[in-house]
Structure 1
Amino acid sequence: MDRTAPSPLARAIAKLTDIESLNYAATNWLPRRTLTRAMGWFSKVEQPLVAKASIAVWRTFCDVDLSDAAETSWRSMHACFIRRLRPGARTFAAQAHQVASPSDGIIVASGPITGDSIVQAKGKRYSIAELTGGEGEAYLGGSFVTLRLTAGMYHRFHAPQDGRVERVRYFPGDCFNVNPPALKRVDGLYCRNERATVRMRLDDGTSILLVPVAAILVAAIRLTFLDTVKLLRERAEPVANVDVPVVQGQEMGWFEHGSTIVLLTPAPFVLADGVQTGDRVRAGEVLFERAVVEAI
């Protein structure tokens, strides 16, 4: 777990931005697409002074721990955003009946998949069919976890178990913030934002679905095994049937800043013991396990 204490200034800023109406207005009423494009351009400026200054400002506003990063300096703020970790910084050791967390994150929602909807925030639900473009039926009766990757977290995601990636579908969309104030106010937020569905077949034949969701200042999901930019540019319907073998812990992609991953598993998978909404987890920690069905 990240135990780095935020600075006094960061705590003061956090108190100010914790005013929900102000937070929501500041990050969603402004021109999201314009801000996202501008942030994308600025973050990639490769000038030493600009990089150092922008990273310093970013660390002032966000709780950023760079102690496990593979590098100690970066050519741009973007390079720091998408940093890799030093070897051994994350451990993937889920057993065959378990599914690990694909990324660092805060569990903002979790539980059984009942009917065709799951929890977005207290009092709000959204349709799995809409989120996945109709691929959610296989997971009805199973379990889900929604992981929020904050701006200061490690932004790469990994294979949660051994298996093969079978299909990727990309959904162009909006770029609402995915923080708690927005989740409470925007109906079907994850279904409206840019996202992808990544269907994975585990070695035992089980199908699981990872849904990376982009957000404001991000609006870019990159996959290591597929050129998503080319997919969007060349296909009217951005769908790719693939056959990519992956091993647990292998890097699958990254966000350009920070966002969300929804992970859907079918029955009889349930949440692993001790996993609950509000937990802060690291990539590799076990999220799901196959329920033991006792013979009658």
Structure 2
Amino acid sequence: MTSTPQAAPRRWRERLLLNEDLNFLLTNRLPRRWLTLAMGRFSKIRSPWLTRFSIGVWRQFTELDLSEAKEQRFESLHACFTRELKEGARPLAPDPALLISPCDALVGAIGRVQRGTVLQAKGMPYRLAELFGCSEEPAEFEGGHYLTLRLTSAMYHRFHAPADACIEAVRYLSGDTWNVNPIALKRIERLFCRNERARIRLRLADGRPMALVPVAAILVASIRLHFLDVLLHLRWAGPRDLPCDVPVRRGQELGWFEHGSTLVVFVPPGFEPCVTTGQRLRMGQALLRPVIAPS
């Protein structure tokens, strides 16, 4: 039996990913902040040949698929990271009552907020107040669901509104740039609370709250939101509160990460997940459904 040309790189990648100690060493014991800032500068170099070479190297580590990209030629690696997709590449779930996935992702932890605590992985709890950067627990999400959506580096990196809503506020919190892959989540306590992040507070059309928390990671550490005329990045001291009053439509693009990371979704009681842990999602697929209270 002959192997395909892609088989050897794939086996090499799989061996690297399965070696947890090596994976953790390579992605978390290096100077994370310095590497992240350096990658930010490197990715913005405008050079067609350097970009093609960088994308070629990138493909050796990921299953990068650019067939859905709106543009097929990129002036920089940054342009490839933050690429737009062709029109219609991400259809929305037809039922408007469903909250849709804000991004392409692998579904991580799913659960309920209990006494202000959620899990990043089995046996790894963290406080919702610490993630949000609050002095008190956000009681409105007590008993509601949270879902962790992990974007890999090869995925589409933009995120969108899960429903018709109004964005009321953003709180930016500067921090570290730990990798957010499953290996790190099992080893680093309160990882999401350590990393750079932004809490985006939304008010749904029916008046209920919702929160999206984009969490940056190594080589990422820049979050761009279209409705704010500022790039949120590591040079900000944080925390910073940025008041908003921005209506958004279901599926409307909100912003992007500059590589790949995690987005944590919080809803109050009255919703239940439509997805399961480990599922691969595309932006626009059903994520949460409203629960009809018994009469």
The C-alpha deviation readout for 1:116-171, integer Å capped at 9, x for no partner, is 11111122111111111236321111111100000000000000101111100000
Aligned residues: 289
AA matched with 1:212: P
8 A Cα contact 1:6 1:63, kept in partner: no
Question: Counterparts in 2 of 1:71-220, with a 5 A limit?
Answer: 71-93=71-93, 95-134=95-134, 136-220=138-222
Structure 1 residue corresponding to 2:250, chosen from 235, 248, 251:
248
* Unaligned ranges ≥5, structure 2: none
8 A Cα contact 1:269 1:290, kept in partner: yes
- State the match for 1:226 in structure 2: 228
Relative to structure 2, which stretch is displaced further, 28-37 or 7-16?
7-16
* Offset, 1:8: 3.0
Cα separation, partners in 2 of 1:138 and 1:43, compared to 1, 3 Å: same
Task: Tell me how far apart the structure 2 counterparts of residues 136 and 222 of structure 1 sit (CA, whole Å).
Answer: 25
- State the match for 1:264 in structure 2: 266
TM-score by length of 2: 0.93
- Match of 1:40, SS state, is helix
Cα separation, partners in 2 of 1:246 and 1:237, compared to 1, 3 Å: same
Task: Tell me how far apart the structure 2 counterparts of residues 57 and 73 of structure 1 sit (CA, whole Å).
Answer: 16
AA matched with 2:241: V
Question: Counterparts in 2 of 1:3-82, with a 5 A limit?
Answer: 7-82=7-82
Task: Tell me how far apart the structure 1 counterparts of residues 128 and 110 of structure 2 sit (CA, whole Å).
Answer: 14
Identity, % of aligned pairs? 49
AA matched with 1:80: C
8 A Cα contact 2:106 2:278, kept in partner: yes
AA matched with 1:145: L
* Offset, 1:95: 3.4
* Offset, 1:24: 0.5
TM-score by length of 1: 0.93
8 A Cα contact 1:170 1:232, kept in partner: no
- State the match for 2:276 in structure 1: 276
AA matched with 2:81: F
Task: Tell me how far apart the structure 1 counterparts of residues 165 and 81 of structure 2 sit (CA, whole Å).
Answer: 28
AA matched with 1:73: R
AA matched with 1:224: H
* Offset, 1:235: 8.8
AA matched with 1:158: H
8 A Cα contact 1:90 1:282, kept in partner: yes
AA matched with 2:172: Y
* Unaligned ranges ≥5, structure 1: none
8 A Cα contact 2:178 2:218, kept in partner: yes
Relative to structure 2, which stretch is displaced further, 14-23 or 130-139?
130-139
Task: Tell me how far apart the structure 2 counterparts of residues 47 and 132 of structure 1 sit (CA, whole Å).
Answer: 39
Task: Tell me how far apart the structure 1 counterparts of residues 208 and 192 of structure 2 sit (CA, whole Å).
Answer: 25
* Offset, 1:287: 1.0
Task: Tell me how far apart the structure 2 counterparts of residues 106 and 278 of structure 1 sit (CA, whole Å).
Answer: 6
* Offset, 1:112: 2.0
Task: Tell me how far apart the structure 2 counterparts of residues 118 and 6 of structure 1 sit (CA, whole Å).
Answer: 40
8 A Cα contact 2:224 2:232, kept in partner: no
* Offset, 1:111: 2.0
AA matched with 1:65: D
